[in-house]
Structure 1
Amino acid sequence: MIIVPIIVFTLLMAAERLSPTNLGKIGGQTLLVYMVTTTVAIVIGLGISNVMDPGSGITLASGNVNTEQAPSLGQQLLNIVPTNPISAMAEGNILAIIFFVLVFGIGMTLVREEADADSSIRNGIDTIFETAEAGAEVMFKVVWGIMEYGVIGVFALMAALFGEIGIEAIGAYAMLSLTLAIAIALQMTIVYFLVILRGLVGVSPLAFLRGTREALVTALSIRSSSGTLPVSMSNAEDNLRIDEGVYSFSLPLGATINMDGTAMYLGIVAIFAANIAGVSLTITQQFAILVTALLASVGTAGVPSASLVMMAAVLTQVGLPLEVIAMIAGIDPFLDRLRTMNNVAGDLAVSTLIGKWNGALDLTTGVWADEVSTGDAIAGDPSTD
């Protein structure tokens, strides 16, 4: 009931930010790096999951598994483009829905840019975008209501699970949490700290952490990338010394589409669901998970536990039981804090890189000043204050 409407509304909201006005040099660089880091995050999540095998050893007897023959890789790619978008929505073909809505949304931004300021076409497109934003807020309220009353069902399902499996269920939850923690640690250490900050920007990751600690602590506390956005922007300007022309676009866009922690979690949960359902995922199916998680992360709202909705999209794509979502909903608030912190760290690291590439990063002030004096950072072109 909620998957398709949320995907449609949130993706249209994301597409509005991808207007031709924004997608200049800085916008194109930001979007490309965000897509790369998210793809790497999913690969890390799937890789760690295949090694650690979370969920193995327990069985979900009530889960309904789609055992149809998985299509080939080529067919998976062809299926992304729907023959009939309305039919795709009715059938729950998630990849096809995401593809069509993104194309339609970007098409609307192109038409709006070409239309006269007071034309009926431009006004109509603005109305559609406003309707999408209102629809998204309505669906978030619906999800909130489901989660408020869903705690009763979550309690019952987890109680039944412990009653059927016993203490081994705790081990399954612990392994799922550990898998995510390791994946996030690798993503932040290798991708953000070593590759982006130390390698491409040439600054100290410790200085970056000092400059972003308020945003990271806020993300851990409130579990919302969007809610953390004012703190992230303040840290970017005051501490990281990124020019407003960069962070005013990259950070709001990141809070909308750059969900590295969420994307890797979707892959991890898919492996977890497959293990407790007693099925093995082929390489083709894991590729489908990668593509679905990448595109679904674009439409994931930056609000607490929004990934539970997108999780249903990923599991549906490969025919895994949706009962798994109810099983892990009880521990999701804890895991959501880690994911949100990862998301915010990624937004700020990428913004720092884009600032460096465009001469919009002042490495002589802020948290970088001490690093420059000790030779730990490489001075770049200071931005104009």
Structure 2
Amino acid sequence: MRKLALHWKIIIGLVLGILWAVLSGFFGWSDFTTNWLAPWGRIFINLLKLIAIPLVLFSIIGGIVGLGDPKQLGRMGLRTLLLYLCTTIIAVSMGLLIVNIAKPGKWMDDDIRTENRIAYELWAQQEGQPVHDHKNYLDDAANETLIAEVAKRRGYDEDESVQSRLKLAKNQKESGPLTFIEDMVPSNVFMAMSDNGSMLKIIFFALFFGIALLYIPEKHSKPVIDVVSGLTEVFLKMVELIMQGAPFFVFALLAGLVSEMAEDDPAKVFELFKGLTWYSLAVLTGLLIMAFVIYPTIMKFFVKRLSYFGFLKGISPAQMLAFSTSSSAATLPVTLECVEDNLKVDPKVSSFVLPIGATVNMDGTSLYQAVAVVFLAQMHMIDLSFGQQITIILTATLASIGSAAIPSAGLVMLMIVLSSVGLNPAWIGIILPVDRILDMVRTVVNVTGDATVASVIGEVSEVDSEEVV
């Protein structure tokens, strides 16, 4: 076992965690799993989050100082943001293409879809929203009994988990056009580092601090730079030490997650996914194409020194960790290590590009949002026009910027996308049962996208350096 590569150990931990959860359901061990195993998974995520924020802070400062030339910093920043924007647009477009071809929402029983349509029209009537595609099932006398039944049912919008996200989405929707920029500037950097803070604020402070260091005399900046470099090394070593226990921590994390879903009845796990199989397959198809076709193709075009399997092997530990934690932020320390040590990207580049990517690059989340919106429309017998689907692309792309790099943050962004095309944001309750598993896969895509962009930027920066010489 000692000679086994870390990513294989993590995979074994993942599989054993799921098997333990299912077996604990059969034998009634759920309480033991919840009380004695699940906490270790949460401790693992907390340890990674503990390191993530200071590592982002010091690595960005160190990366900027390492660049030396402010002009080079501007070029790299522009290239980074443009490349992240391009991959996000590709991801959303891929999602729309797949969901329009597969039509997962139309595989459901027509009677159920009719009920869904009536529920949608009742909601639209209540909210004063125009009904899509000008169909009106409420005016059909044949549906009178069904309308009465649907009207009496408890809606998804009464669910507590949906309500809490509705409030967050409402706040985001009501924000002004410059709120995104306003939210980037912290009034207190220490508050920004708290649990309720924003990674964007930390990145802004790090960028501002690093740029300021470039403009002061070397005799004053050198002691600060030495401290920053030393602290970065300390936090990287902490990552290395934590990752020694990753296989066990991942086992505990998955055992707790699946056990929570199944309780003492393992059949519940399968029932949770049964009704949403086609939707899940559509999302997974898009995510796997992004991770194993689109990104390696970009790498092959720009970074010829890395083979297809060389790239995937190099980033695989970060992918496995992203799958188990569902958090780009928690995975960031390991992503930095993989990109620098395995993909051989200059630390000056990776320490600048990757922390930004963990915040603004949400390709997997954007793809899932596109599929989810059209799927929910299809299952409610709503035909979205080409213009409305373009709106989905724009809204999902913009909503992904600044989306929290934490589990299920995409659900809040999905509500904003649903609202942008006049659909009920409370419909996220329909896909909540399968969201956690899909969230794990889309985090893998987000992390793989970050590594791809960092490698491309690193390669382009090397070419620029050679031309200057």
Instruction: Tell me if TM exceeds 0.5.
Output: yes
Equivalent of 1:44 in 81, 88, 94: 94
Larger Rg: 2
Name the residue aligned to 2:75.
25
User: Aligned pair count?
Assistant: 284
Name the residue aligned to 2:438.
335
Mapped contact 1:242–1:360 kept (Cα < 8 A): no
Q: Does 1:62 align with 2:119?
A: yes
Change (3 A) 1:341 1:90: closer
Change (3 A) 1:215 1:135: closer
What is the CA deviation profile of residues 107-151 of structure 1, one whole-angstrom value per residue up to 9, with x for unaligned ones?
A: xxxxxxxxxxxxxxxxxx54166666658449xxxxxxxxxxxxx
Name the residue aligned to 1:198.
300
Equivalent of 1:186 in 274, 278, 289: 289
What is the CA deviation profile of residues 10-56 of structure 1, one whole-angstrom value per residue up to 9, with x for unaligned ones?
A: xxxxxxx9x99996111111111000000000000011011111222
Mapped contact 2:415–2:426 kept (Cα < 8 A): no
Q: Does 1:101 align with 2:164?
A: no
Shift of 1:241: 1.2
The alignment yields a C-alpha RMSD, in angstroms, of 3.4
Shift of 1:67: 2.6
Shift of 1:292: 0.7
What is the rounded CA distance, in whole Å, between the counterparts of 1:215 and 1:91 in structure 2? 30
Q: Does 1:239 align with 2:342?
A: yes
- One-letter code of the match for 1:263? S
Name the residue aligned to 2:319.
216
What is the CA deviation profile of residues 187-246 of structure 1, one whole-angstrom value per residue up to 9, with x for unaligned ones?
A: 22332111x111121121200111111100000111100000010011111111111111
Say which is worse superposed, 237-246 or 257-266, in terms of deviation: 237-246
Say which is worse superposed, 50-59 or 227-236, in terms of deviation: 50-59
What is the rounded CA distance, in whole Å, between the counterparts of 1:344 and 1:98 in structure 2? 30
What is the CA deviation profile of residues 344-378 of structure 1, one whole-angstrom value per residue up to 9, with x for unaligned ones?
A: 001001101100001189xxxxxxxxxxxxxxxxx
Change (3 A) 1:214 1:267: same
Mapped contact 1:219–1:340 kept (Cα < 8 A): yes
- Alignment TM-score, normalising by the size of structure 1: 0.66
2:81 match: secondary structure:
helix
Mapped contact 2:319–2:448 kept (Cα < 8 A): yes
Name the residue aligned to 1:375.
none
- One-letter code of the match for 1:201? V
- One-letter code of the match for 1:198? K
Mapped contact 1:293–1:314 kept (Cα < 8 A): yes
Mapped contact 1:39–1:294 kept (Cα < 8 A): yes
Name the residue aligned to 1:300.
403
Change (3 A) 1:98 1:261: farther
Structure 1: tracts of 5 or more residues without a match: 1-16, 71-88, 107-124, 139-153, 156-161, 362-379
What is the rounded CA distance, in whole Å, between the counterparts of 1:133 and 1:92 in structure 2? 25
2:276 match: secondary structure:
helix
Change (3 A) 1:22 1:229: farther
2:345 match: secondary structure:
coil
- One-letter code of the match for 2:119? S
Name the residue aligned to 1:253.
356
Q: Does 1:286 align with 2:395?
A: no
Change (3 A) 1:313 1:241: same
- One-letter code of the match for 2:179? V
Structure 2: tracts of 5 or more residues without a match: 1-59, 65-69, 134-166, 199-260, 263-267
1:127 match: secondary structure:
coil
2:408 match: secondary structure:
coil
1:331 match: secondary structure:
helix
Name the residue aligned to 2:84.
34
Change (3 A) 1:69 1:22: farther
- Alignment TM-score, normalising by the size of structure 2: 0.54
Name the residue aligned to 2:456.
353
What is the CA deviation profile of residues 142-181 of structure 1, one whole-angstrom value per residue up to 9, with x for unaligned ones?
A: xxxxxxxxxxxx99xxxxxx9xxxx9x9665111111011
What is the rounded CA distance, in whole Å, between the counterparts of 1:278 and 1:69 in structure 2? 10
